[in-house]
Amino acid sequence: MSTLVQTVQRNIHGRDFVVGDIHGHFTRLEAALQQVDFDRSVDRLFSVGDLVDRGPESSRVLDYLKRPWLVAVRGNHEDMAIRHPNGHRDTEAYRDNGGGWLIESPMEIQLEVAAALSALPIAVSIDTLAGKIGIVHADCPTQSWEEFTSRLEDPLLSNSELKRLLRGALWSRERIEWDDQRPVEDVTAVIVGHTPVPSSRCIANVYYTDTGVCYPNLNKLTLFQLSPDAETVIREAATA
């Protein structure tokens, strides 16, 4: 059983980075990490989810999830990859969303991938120099980060309410589509991906980091340093 919320202590020995949606472009991720001289012994990398689908190297996800310096949340594409081998996802619809690599894999690989992705949290809370920073794939579906994470951890939460929270966390684009300027409360900032943007965008205290690596008109993977100082939430560090 997965833990839906993960709390991460401050990194006192190295740097923290966050990357937008990877979508199977791990070679490009490695190029970005090389640009910042990423030190695997002390630095950490946070992923906003959607590590898989659409790109050419999605099958490398199992190797990446074993790396102790990577902390990833579950995205909607992880959710599709979890649901497909368990019979809860239309095969052709998943293929249209970039899932052909998994559909064509042996069932034992499909189940191994689904199990590994199922272990990913929905939300991560990080203690940083700038304060508490939350990471979730698409959006915080409540006005308060504390309310969101406490509900996810509530053993009495109904299945219908959990589904509602997960849909917002993994799929929502309402905040950016409506330019909702209300900040998420009880947190310094929330970092998300999911919605492709030409360059990082901030709405109130929500930062959008998916710069469209899998889209020809955008075609950029962006790596950000997380809270390099007490006044800065994220700062662009490299692109690939």
Domain ranges of the chain: 5-239
| CB within 8 Å of 239: residues ≥ 6 apart | 32, 211, 220, 221, 222, 223
Q: What is the pTM of this model?
A: 0.97
Which is the CATH superfamily of the domain at 5-239?
Metallo-dependent phosphatases (3.60.21.10)
CA distance 99 to 65: 18
What is the residue-averaged pLDDT of the chain? 97
Average pLDDT of 116-133?
Answer: 98
pLDDT at 1 over 80: no
SS3 label, residue 101: helix
Residue reference for tokens 């199990």: 115
pLDDT at 171 over 70: yes
Query: pLDDT for 59-76, tens place per residue?
Result: 999 999 999 999 999 999
Query: pLDDT for 90-122, tens place per residue?
Result: 889 999 999 999 999 999 999 999 999 999 999
| Per-residue confidence (pLDDT) for residue 2, from 0 to 100 | 66
Q: Are 176 and 32 in contact (CB under 8 A)?
A: no
